[in-house]
Amino acid sequence: MPAAAGFFMKQIFYILNYPFTVLFYIIFGFCLVFFHGIQWICFNVFGYQAHKKSVDILNLFILLCLKVLGTSFEFKAPKNIPRNIPIIIVSNHQSLWDIPPIIWFLRKLHPKFVSKFELGKGIPSVSYNLRNGGSILIKRKNAKQALSEMIKFSEYLSKNNRSGVIFPEGTRSRTGDAKRFQRKGLELLLKNLPQALVLPLTINNSWKLQRYGMFPMPLGVKIKYTLHPLMKVSDFEMNDLIDKIEIQIKSNILPK
């Protein structure tokens, strides 16, 4: 009887995913459309700082939208991260929901992203920010374009002492399992920013939000972000540094 009751409760809980997911997407969609206009005004009328503030607030609202699903966030970051030097945030990648907490919780570092080219159009707020907020859009099958954009990105981070976020796995891990790092992009970024600090980041459990695809989204997912100690690029030989980053990130991925 207890086993049957447990099975029944699991089914009820799973069914509840559907109405709550519908509610989430309604609120989430409204936020994207509303803040698209806010971003446009801030960027074109008031400039970078106002636009950045609008993006920060948008991502706070996205986190609040996810609270509708009972999603919680644990963000452990080292104290006193310097802001007068470029920082390269290197992370594993589990879902598209990895990004809003990074933007919000690390907003003082002005995080910018290495993103795939396709995300630069068609998504209210998100595409606008990627095109205008300092991130870059990479064509994966166009090495020349990718190289050019990475060099520009390095120069931008160096000039403005901002942080760049890169997911060296290339694509999302839909099961939470770690993928092998694709090193070329990360290596290029490190070579062009020898004065930078590297901030390794391990993300756990965000893949569970998309375990069924985009619909339904499960209730009660607890996402954990662990930021590891900073490392100065110039203190390491390139391959040793990338090895160290990869090991540190992957060794902190929790078992399923």
- Per residue in 112-162, pLDDT tens? 999 999 999 999 999 999 999 999 999 988 989 999 999 999 999 999 999
Is the pLDDT assigned to residue 220 strictly greater than 70? yes
What would you report as the CA-atom Rg of the chain, rounded to the nearest whole angstrom? 19
Give a yes or no: residue 209 inside a domain.
yes
Q: What is the DSSP string of 114-147?
A: EEEGGGGSSSTTHHHHHHHSS-EEE-TT-HHHHH
Give a yes or no: residue 117 inside a domain.
yes
Give a yes or no: residue 13 inside a domain.
no
CA–CA separation, 64 and 116 (whole Å): 26
DSSP 8-state symbol, 237: -
Range list of H helices, the chain? 2-41, 48-67, 99-105, 126-132, 143-160, 183-192, 238-250
Q: What is the DSSP string of 43-63?
A: IIII-HHHHHHHHHHHHHHHH
Domain tally, the chain:
1
DSSP-based three-state secondary structure for 25? helix
Give a yes or no: residue 90 inside a domain.
yes
Q: What is the dihedral of CA 241, 245, 246, 248, to 10 degrees?
A: 130
- Give the angle subtended at the CA of 133 by the CAs of 99 and 126, to the nearest 5°: 50
CA–CA separation, 199 and 191 (whole Å): 16
What's the pTM value of the predicted model, to 2 decimals? 0.93
**Domain range for 229:** 71-250
Residue of 72, 100, 105 lying closest to 208 (CA atoms): 72
Distances (CA, A) of 164 to 86, 152, 208: 8, 12, 25
Average pLDDT over residues 182-207: 96
Let me know: does 85 contact 161? Beta carbons within 8 Å: yes
Give a yes or no: residue 6 inside a domain.
no
Is the pLDDT assigned to residue 9 strictly greater than 90? no
Give a yes or no: residue 231 inside a domain.
yes
Burial of 175 (0-12, 13-18, 19+ CB in 10 A): exposed
13-17, 67-71, 103-107, 169-173: segment of lowest average pLDDT: 169-173
Report the pLDDT value the prediction gives residue 4, as an integer from 0 to 100. Answer: 62
CA–CA separation, 219 and 110 (whole Å): 30
**Binning pLDDT at 50, 70 and 90, where does residue 80 land?**
confident
Give a yes or no: residue 110 inside a domain.
yes
**How many alpha carbons fall within 13 Å on the CB side of residue 187?**
9
Report the pLDDT value the prediction gives residue 1, as an integer from 0 to 100. Answer: 45
Give a yes or no: residue 37 inside a domain.
no
The letter for the amino acid at 75 is F
Average pLDDT over residues 92-102: 95
DSSP 8-state symbol, 97: G
**Does 6 or 36 have the greater pLDDT score?**
36
**Binning pLDDT at 50, 70 and 90, where does residue 192 land?**
very high
